[in-house]
């Protein structure tokens, strides 16, 4: 009989896994790739959540809250510690407000040429995740109030309530919108006064309010000139001419208010006249330089960046701060 050939059964061989593009050559198997992808996603999510808090805006708290130290009876370590705690709490409060605003404005921001890249507007962070993060910030803020020094914390509560009303309604009302934002900085200074237990100066608060309006109006003017009123409904109540007029008014009030503070309320004693002589040219130059940046160089869209990137404004502010600081220290600790 002829031989019958029997075909051998094929042996089952597991396919060799192929690494996806960009995978580390030492990783083998899906578990390694999955762990690597999960870690990368966690890093991206953490970075996006941090971006929601606007770290670039934190210097506002560092500048505004300690202004009350100008009227502190004595700069003690305890007072400085309370002011530092107040800065931390307002940083948490403002971060919470930024997160809530980004969730509330996500659809409007999605159509904005620059704001559409924000984490919530772009979809990188879901609204649900942002709300959970907001709840975490709220818990941290409450813990900071309970664990911190015994102070009058009403400025923080007032700031949160005011910004809740701003997010829901007030940001759409022309002129009221900018006043609410400026009032937030006045509340920062008031918390600083609560931390230092110093006498509140109406002229200093007037200066803070007018200066903040000046910076906000510079931003609104730049938005009008570049984007129009499409992405901020309140801008329908403004035009470039009104913005220019309001810039002039608030610049004048800011300068006069600060000089009146130095003349009447600042605790500088016999150094008052010398301080005024040095402050007048520095204040006038700094304000004029900012107006030049807004009206001539078409800046002001980011007030913090506009001020900090202008070396002459920074130099004038540093010289003014040094003059005020030297006068305050000389009045507090006179040489025997």
**pLDDT (tens digit per residue) in 260-318:** 999 998 888 888 999 999 999 999 999 999 999 999 988 877 888 888 888 999 999 99
pLDDT in tens, 186-221: 999 999 998 888 889 999 999 999 999 999 999 999
Q: What is the pLDDT of residue 22?
A: 45
Q: What is the mean pLDDT of residues 85-100?
A: 91
The dihedral through the CA atoms of 89, 310, 280, 318 has a sign that is positive
Greater confidence (230 vs 65) lies with 65
Q: What is the pLDDT of residue 253?
A: 97
Sequence-distant (≥ 6) Cβ neighbours of residue 83 within 8 angstroms:
65, 66, 68, 69, 192, 195, 196
pLDDT band at 335 (very low <50, low <70, confident <90, very high): low
Q: What's the whole-model pTM score?
A: 0.80
Q: What is the pLDDT of residue 229?
A: 66
**How many CB atoms sit inside 10 A of residue 212's CB?**
24
Q: What is the pLDDT of residue 13?
A: 44
Q: What are phi and psi of 17, to 5 degrees?
A: -65, 140
């Amino acid at each position: 009989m002829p031989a019958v050939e029997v075909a051998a059964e094929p042996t089952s061989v597991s396919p060799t896994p192929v690494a996806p593009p960009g995978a580390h050559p030492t990783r083998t198997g899906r578990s390694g790739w999955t762990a690597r992808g999960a870690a990368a996603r966690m890093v991206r999510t953490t970075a996006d959540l941090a971006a929601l808090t606007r770290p670039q805006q934190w210097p506002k708290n560092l500048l505004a809250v300690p202004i009350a130290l100008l009227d502190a009876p004595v700069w003690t370590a305890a007072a400085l510690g309370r002011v530092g705690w107040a800065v931390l709490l307002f940083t948490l409060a403002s971060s919470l407000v930024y997160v809530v605003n980004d969730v509330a404005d996500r659809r409007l921001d999605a159509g904005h040429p620059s704001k559409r890249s924000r984490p919530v507007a772009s979809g990188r962070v879901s609204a649900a995740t942002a709300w959970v993060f907001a709840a975490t910030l709220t818990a941290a803020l409450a813990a900071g109030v309970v664990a911190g020094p015994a102070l009058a914390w009403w400025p923080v509560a007032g700031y949160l309530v005011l910004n809740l009303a701003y997010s829901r309604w007030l940001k759409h009302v022309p002129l009221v919108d900018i006043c609410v934002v400026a009032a937030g900085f006045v509340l920062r200074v008031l918390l600083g006064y609560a931390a230092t237990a110093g006498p509140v100066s109406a002229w200093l608060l007037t200066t803070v309010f007018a200066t903040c309006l000046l910076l906000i109006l510079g931003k609104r003017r730049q938005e009008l000139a570049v984007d129009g009123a499409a992405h901020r409904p309140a801008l329908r109540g403004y035009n470039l001419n009104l913005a220019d007029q309001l810039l002039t008014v608030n610049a004048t009030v800011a300068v006069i208010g600060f000089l009146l503070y130095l003349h009447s309320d600042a605790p500088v004693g016999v150094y008052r006249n010398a301080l005024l002589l040095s402050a007048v040219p520095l204040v006038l130059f700094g304000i004029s330089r900012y107006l030049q940046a807004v009206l001539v160089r078409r800046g002001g869209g980011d007030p913090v960046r506009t001020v900090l990137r202008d070396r002459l404004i920074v130099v004038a502010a540093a010289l003014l701060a040094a003059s005020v600081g030297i006068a305050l220290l000389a009045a507090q600790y006179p040489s025997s």
